[in-house]
Structures are given as C-alpha cells and as structure tokens.
Chain A
Amino acid sequence: MMRAAPGDELPPLRRIVTREDVLAYARASGDENPLHQDDEVARAAGFPGILAHGMFTMGHLAACLVAWAGNPAQVIGITAHFRSPVFVDDEIVAGGRVVAVEDDVATLETWVSVDREGRTEWPIKRGAARIQLA
C-alpha cells in the first residue's frame, strides 16, 4: 500500500491548454456548448475567445491525483468549485496536499492555479479529493 501523511504535497502537474485540447475534450465528454468551441460565441459573451470547460480543468486535476495515486480507481472522490475561467494558451498547474489519513483513505485539499499578467488566479481553489491507499 502507498504511504501518505498529513502535510504531504502532490507533485504539481502543469499543462499549457491548446485549442485542440478543448475541442478534443468537447468531443470526448459530449459537452458541445459553443462557448467552448466557437470564438464568436465566446466573444459575444464577453470573453477574449473560447474557454476551456470547467470539467477540462477538473480532468487535469484528476490526472494530477492519478499520477500520485498510481491508478485511477484509487480516486474515489473528487469535488471542485469553478471560480475563474481558463483560456487557450493558459498554463494551468494542478496540485494538492494531504489533510488527513483514516482507514486507508487519504483526504486531500486540491487546487488549480493559472498565472495571468503577473497575477495568480484560481480556476479551482479548496477542492477536495479522497484517495484509497490500499
């Protein structure tokens, strides 16, 4: 079984979001909202261009958890609030920290940040996850 203790930090997982990523995610997930596929629609809604799906950002966070846990089936719970948008060419950084371990389940606080024009924004902040350790 893997070992984990409160305070352990997950290795951050970085990714630069491309247009192809967002379009591929729309096809795979079935979320065909044009805000995520059509720049004209996104601009009409007041954005500079298409947005990544919140679920794309959450999927990236899940990949960070899987990289740490070793197997997707160990990620038994994942929760996120979507706080700020992610655009094409943003570099998103997923991370997490163990807050408790009980009965072979680690409870984590999780996040996804993006640095934009010298400011750090948090597409996901104070997310949570539960990882089965054994």
Chain B
Amino acid sequence: MNARAEGKHYPEVTFRVDPARVSAFRQVFDLATGLPPTFSTAAEFAVFPDIVGDPELRLDYRRVVHGAQEYTHHRPLVEGEQLTIRSRLESIRAKAGNGFLTIVTELVGADGDVACTARSTMIERGGGS
C-alpha cells in the first residue's frame, strides 16, 4: 500500500437507496421497518471498487481484513432517494507490520446535506512496509 495516497479523493458516484435492497437488508436482520443503521455499507460498496482497484494506492485486497467501522447519521436516509457518495483516504499508517487504511465516505443528499458519515478501517496484513 502506498502511504503517499493519503488524502486522495475519489470521483463521486451516485447511489439510490433502493427500497428492494433496503427490504432485503431488513430481512437479514429481522427488522420490521425503517433503514437498518448499517445499511450505509451498501453505499460505501458503490465506491470501494475504485479504491480497491486504484493503481496509485496499490492495496493488496487478498490480504485485507475489515478492522473497524463507524457510522454517524446526521439524518435518516429515505427509501428511494438518490445520494452522491464521496470518499477520501483519511489516513494510511503502518503498525506492527500491518498497514491501516481509513476511508471516510460521505452520503450526500440532493440538497448537498451530508446524511451520513462512514469511517471504515481496512487492515492490510503484513503490508506495513
């Protein structure tokens, strides 16, 4: 992993809060109504392929495990709404021989309001050098 990619922003992508997908997500967790608090992960996965495949970052995805995850909901997502997904590499650190990549993703509503901020830490095992 290339630590110099720290701070990089990725092109925005659009993501629809598809009611069928929300329903499938609710079913997995046996929730009756509303947006599951971790549904925002589906929006993160709209942009993660660009990060995982970024030749500048050089992340070795075969050695990657999910280290930590954080969601801050500024307002509830609305089924059917169209969001703009904006990701950046907040930090890249080496610790105990592993590489730690923290990605911040904002889910932005039509009015430009940030509905949710997601922070995802990926660990590239043995990738600290």
Contact between B41 and A29 (Cβ–Cβ < 8 Å)?
yes
Is A68 at the interface (CB under 8 A from chain B)?
no
Nearest chain A CB to B103 CB, angstrom units: 14
Contact between A55 and B41 (Cβ–Cβ < 8 Å)?
yes
**CA A31 – CA B29 in complex, angstroms?**
16
Interface residues of B in 35-79 (CB under 8 A from A): 35-38, 41-42, 45-46, 65-73, 76
Is B30 at the interface (CB under 8 A from chain A)?
yes
Contact between A72 and B34 (Cβ–Cβ < 8 Å)?
yes
User: What residue in chain B is nearest A53 (Cβ atoms)?
Assistant: B66
Number of contacting residues on A, CB 8 A?
A: 30
Interface residues of B in 1-37 (CB under 8 A from A): 21, 24-25, 27-31, 33-37
Contact between B69 and A54 (Cβ–Cβ < 8 Å)?
yes
**CA A82 – CA B62 in complex, angstroms?**
18
A21-B28, A28-B28, A30-B46 known; A73 and B35 CB under 8 Å? Answer: yes
**CA A107 – CA B73 in complex, angstroms?**
14
**CA A75 – CA B68 in complex, angstroms?**
18
Nearest chain A CB to B76 CB, angstrom units: 4
Nearest chain B CB to A121 CB, angstrom units: 16
**CA A80 – CA B38 in complex, angstroms?**
11
**CA A82 – CA B72 in complex, angstroms?**
18
